[in-house]
Amino acid sequence: MKAPTSVKTEVVNGTGSMANGQSYVGIIEEREATAVSFTSMGVVKRMLVNEGQEVGRGQLIAEMDDTQARNLLSAAEAAMSQANDALERFKMLHDAGSLPEVQWVEIQSKVDQAKSQHEIAKKNLADCQLTAPVSGIIGKKMVGAGETAMPSQAVVTILDISHVKVKVAIPEAEISGITPTMPSTIFAEAAQTTISGGKIEKGVQADALTHTYDIRVNVENRDRKLLPGMVASVSFGSEKGKANSEKLMVPVTSVQKAADGTMFVWTIDKDNSAHRQTVSIGQTMGNRVTVDSGITEGQRVVTEGYQKLSEGTRVVF
């Protein structure tokens, strides 16, 4: 008896919810990106965060070698101590009327200068520590430990992804049909997440080559499953409040084309035998495709290994 053929399968379900209306491909973007940098040049001594790490406002991100800054602070403290000592000694002469007013003003001025230099030195030392100005997720590290950071050179970026935006290019002939409150459904294949979109921001300047307008759909992202750069399918509803229609979806690779041009998939019966099933497919969303007819929810389809199958082949999965 011939051994069963090994294949990979998937149970068909209706997780691909699509809005009634037009659908487009979009790219997920963070709501806001903040570039964080040192204010002076120096060698980075330690990096305390990693890409993808969540940070809070005020959290220490990196430290710069502070040897020079500490030396300058020590010198400034010595100069201020010397200026204060001179002020105390000459004050007695001034109070006794033995010190010219011009000289007294000059001594006070030197004290003020010393205080100013001391404050600058303290700030320079504090600036050797880089803290997060906002809360968010570390997007990218541009500088590592041991490297020299330049003033205003981004060390890391902090992304706000508590809400995200889905950027979609809309053809100029269709942009007039997009309204700020139009209902939308976002499906991200990478996150296996379907979520309703929020307010829509419409761009007013078209791309010179593609004649499309960029719009951005605001999406709440409390669980932070949607990440910048992910591809998403955006379906716009034709009417506000119109119910979504459930669509069966299968991997694109599971759908084959017959010699007569019809499309089919291999389904597995309860007795673990394979059968060729003609289907009618719809819209492609990432690496999956909707199936309009031919299979029902709960059926098992072959996703890998179908090349070895023929009608009635016994399989194992």
Q: Residue 100: pLDDT above 70?
A: yes
pLDDT of residue 309: 87
Q: Please report the pLDDT score of residue 191 as a whole number.
A: 87
In whole angstroms, give the CA distance from residue 250 to residue 13.
Answer: 8
| pLDDT given at position 20 | 40
Q: How many helices (H) and strands (E) are present in the chain, helices listed first?
A: 2, 23
Q: How far is CA 119 from CA 75, 113, 126, 316, in A?
A: 12, 10, 11, 75
Output the CA–CA distances (angstroms, integers) from residue 92 to 40, 86, 97, 99, 126, in the order listed: 42, 11, 9, 9, 37
The helix or strand, by DSSP H or E, that contains position 136, with its residue range, turns out to be: strand 136-141
Average pLDDT of the residues in 233-252: 64
Asked if the model's pLDDT at residue 97 lies above 90, the reply is: no
* pLDDT for residue 55 is more than 90: yes
pLDDT band at 22 (very low <50, low <70, confident <90, very high): low
Is pLDDT above 50 for 75? yes
Compute the distance between CA of residue 25 and CA of residue 289 in angstroms, rounded to an integer.
Answer: 14
Q: What is the pLDDT of residues 107-166, one digit of tens each?
A: 999 999 999 999 999 999 999 999 999 999 999 999 999 999 999 899 999 999 999 999
Rounded mean pLDDT, 93-109 = 87
Other CB atoms within 10 Å distance of the CB of residue 49: 21
- Mean pLDDT, residues 225-229: 91
Q: How far is CA 285 from the centre of its chain?
A: 21
Residue 21 has pLDDT above 70, yes or no: no
Residue 18 has pLDDT above 60, yes or no: no
Q: Confirm if 182 and 160 have CB atoms less than 8 A apart.
A: no
Query: Can you give the pTM of this predicted structure?
Result: 0.56
DSSP string, 241-268: TPPPEEEEEEEGGG-EE-TTS-EEEEEE
User: Residue 167 class from Cβ within 10 Å (0-12 exposed, 13-18 middle, 19+ buried)?
Assistant: middle
pLDDT, position 1: 56
Mean residue pLDDT of the chain comes to 87
| C-alpha distance across the termini of the chain, in Å | 18
Under 8 Å between Cβ of 33 and 312: no
* Tens digits of residue pLDDT in 248-302: 888 888 899 888 889 999 999 988 899 999 999 887 665 678 888 899 888 899 9
Looking at per-residue pLDDT, the higher value among 42 and 92 belongs to: 42
Collapsing DSSP states into helix, strand and coil, what is residue 68?
helix
Pick the closest to residue 198 from 212, 186, 211, 213 (CA basis). Answer: 186
Instruction: Report the percentage of the chain scoring pLDDT > 70.
Output: 92
pLDDT at 239 over 50: no
pLDDT reported for residue 236: 84
Q: What is the pLDDT of residue 289?
A: 81
Q: What is the pLDDT of residue 246?
A: 55
Predicted pLDDT at 150: 92
Residues 184 and 233: beta-carbon distance below 8 Å = no
What is the set of domains in the chain, with CATH numbers? 1-19+244-317 (2.40.420.20), 66-127 (1.10.287.470)
